[in-house]
Amino acid sequence: MPQKKSIHALPDFDMAQHIQNEADIIEYLNQVLDEGDPAELAAAIGHIAKARGMTEIARSSGIKREALYKALRPNSHPRFDTIQRVCKALGVKLVATSTH
């Protein structure tokens, strides 16, 4: 019989570790955008920034690293200006399309 593990003994899931390339970034952002949850979008951009290196993204966006962590944590509601600046630093652009 397999040994049971406590849920507390399992490692934390870190999405940033699973973002390997540009295709992963685009797919992840498209899925999050399809869901339509602004807080989840902020968290996803945070995961991508972490995967790319938060210090470099902070420098490129002109936003302090600590402020980025705060703005892009789960359930945060950053200003659109922050999202735009971080997306530019990440080299991604959010694009609108018709739903019809």
Q: Which residue has the higher pLDDT, 96 or 85?
A: 85
Q: The pTM is what?
A: 0.81
CA dist 98 and 93 (Å) reads 16
pLDDT at 52: 92
Residue at 23 is within a domain = no
pLDDT at 1: 64
H or E, element range at 38:
helix 38-52
CB 74 within 8 A of CB 39: yes
In 54-94 the beta strands, taken as DSSP E runs, fall at none
Domain count, the chain: 1
Q: pLDDT (tens digit, 9 = 90+) per residue, 26-66? A: 999 999 999 888 888 999 999 999 999 999 999 999 999 99
Q: pLDDT (tens digit, 9 = 90+) per residue, 40-51? A: 899 999 999 999
By residue range, what is the domain housing residue 57? Answer: 36-94
CA dist 30 and 47 (Å) reads 14
Residue at 69 is within a domain = yes
Residue at 26 is within a domain = no
**Residue 47's CATH number:** 1.10.260
